[in-house]
Structure 1
Amino acid sequence: MSASPVLITGGGQRLGRHCAERLRDDGHPVIVTYRRERPALEALRERGVVTLQADFESEAGILDFIARLKAETSSLRAIVHNASDWAPDSSGSEAGANFERLFRVHMLAPYLINLQARELLEACSEPHRDIVHMTDYVVQKGSKKHAAYAASKAGLDNLTLSFAAMYAPTIQVNAIAPAMIMHNEGDNEVYAAKVKAKSVMDMVPGPGVIYQSLRYLLDNRYVTGVTLPVDGGRHLR
């Protein structure tokens, strides 16, 4: 257990929420960011999780969040960059704006937070401090319908290497690249079967495998600059 909190961006739902809950189960203080209010946030607050609203779609919003983060805590044990937007491409007049927005959410926000929250990580009394980027399996193959998403996640993957080199040996920087971890609400049986078939493990495992991967990185003192694939062997298909 650390006295310094773990920050999880985009922690109000799905993978981020699961990791926040599991960290609390393990006794760690947690701060999560959220884009809009949702019922799950109140349940997190009741468990002692600090929730900070954040708009990562603009540089001003990112900088405002960093200022409020520093007002909230004087140190951090880890930063988990989980905030994401699975937005499809557009061929219309809004295509450029869509790309720029995904760039800010997936790359600019982690970049600025890593730079300006470094002092919070270094203020942690523990010798082990971490930054974890949540990327995506799609980084390795691209996407016909989500090219901007894939490109911005690939940029985040590359930032892992740069920050790992910059911050060693005091801060470890790694990434997790998930694929087909959990279903969305409303997925029908046909779609669910299609998703399942993409994994050679023949399963949709649920968010627990991401927490296991995060715990491995948080607990291991000798791993930095790597991307950990959690994709069920999808590349073997």
Structure 2
Amino acid sequence: MSASPILITGGARRLGRHCAERLLDDGHPVIISYRRERDELEALRRRGVATLQADFASEAGILDFIARLKTETDTLRAIVHNASDWTPDSPGDDAGANFERLFRVHMQAPYLINLHCRELLAACPEPLRDIVHMSDYVARRGSKKHVAYAATKAGLDNLTLSFAAMYAPSIQVNAIAPALVMLGEDDDAAYAEKAMAKSAMRMIPGPGVVYQSLRYLLDNRYVTGVTLPVDGGRHLR
């Protein structure tokens, strides 16, 4: 349980929302960022979650979010960088713009938030202070259809190493790299079977396995600078 809030970027839906709800269940106050208004946000607000709209596709949007965050709280227990954009590569004229957007969401936003919000973490009166980057299994394997996505997630892994060294020993910085842990709304049974065949565990476990990994990093005082794979043994295939 923490008196200082935990920030989750991209916390309105799917994995981010699940982690926000579980942290609330465990007694932690939570702040989330969200890109656009959704019905799910009202349920989080009723539970006391502070919700801040943010557009991480531009540097100005990132800095604006940071400024508003600092008016919301003067301390943070942890920052969980979950905001992500699963845009496939485009062979057309907008390829550069797509890459730039993914770079800003996956790398520049965590970079600037980590730098500008260090003081909020330092103000936390508790001995544990954490930054957790949500990376991806494909950051190490690569992707034929999501080259820019995989590359910018790999950059996020490298930020994990640099910030871990920079902020030790007072702030731990780690990453979690899940493979597919939950299906999308449009995924059918055939897609699910194909996805399960890629892992040694042959399952789609749900977002709970990522929350378990997050709790491990938040609760352990002797882990920093690591990227924790949560991929069901895909490397064994």
TM over 0.5: yes
Match of 1:188 in 2: 188
Deviations 1:138-161 (A, max 9, x none): 011111010000000000000000
- Distance, in Å, in 1 between the alignment partners of 2:89 and 2:140 is 18
**If the length of structure 2 is used for normalisation, what is the TM-score?**
0.99
- Distance, in Å, in 2 between the alignment partners of 1:108 and 1:180 is 24
- Give the letter for the 2:37 counterpart: E
Match of 1:164 in 2: 164
- Give the letter for the 2:178 counterpart: P
Q: How does 1:50-199 map to 2 (within 5 A)?
A: 50-199=50-199
Secondary structure at the counterpart of residue 36 of structure 1: coil
- Distance, in Å, in 2 between the alignment partners of 1:91 and 1:190 is 28
- Distance, in Å, in 2 between the alignment partners of 1:148 and 1:113 is 21
Runs of 4+ in 1 over 3 A off after TM superposition: none
Secondary structure at the counterpart of residue 66 of structure 2: helix
Secondary structure at the counterpart of residue 131 of structure 1: strand
Secondary structure at the counterpart of residue 181 of structure 2: coil
Match of 1:6 in 2: 6
- Give the letter for the 1:103 counterpart: F
Deviations 1:70-97 (A, max 9, x none): 0000000000000000000011000001
5+ long unaligned stretches in structure 2:
none
Deviations 1:74-130 (A, max 9, x none): 000000000000000011000001000100000000000000000000000001100
Match of 2:49 in 1: 49
- Distance, in Å, in 1 between the alignment partners of 2:96 and 2:7 is 30
- Distance, in Å, in 1 between the alignment partners of 2:89 and 2:206 is 27
- Give the letter for the 2:8 counterpart: I
Deviations 1:176-228 (A, max 9, x none): 00001000012111111101111110100000000000000000000000000
CA RMSD in angstroms, aligned pairs only? 0.4
- Give the letter for the 2:118 counterpart: R
Residue 219 of structure 2 is aligned to residue 219 of structure 1: yes
Secondary structure at the counterpart of residue 74 of structure 2: coil
Match of 2:23 in 1: 23
- Distance, in Å, in 2 between the alignment partners of 1:115 and 1:187 is 38
**If the length of structure 1 is used for normalisation, what is the TM-score?**
0.99
- Give the letter for the 1:217 counterpart: L
- Distance, in Å, in 2 between the alignment partners of 1:98 and 1:118 is 29
5+ long unaligned stretches in structure 1:
none
Deviations 1:16-54 (A, max 9, x none): 000000000001000000000111110100111111000
Provide the aligned length of Structure 1 versus Structure 2: 237
- Distance, in Å, in 2 between the alignment partners of 1:38 and 1:164 is 34
**Seq. identity, %:** 81
- Distance, in Å, in 2 between the alignment partners of 1:184 and 1:198 is 17
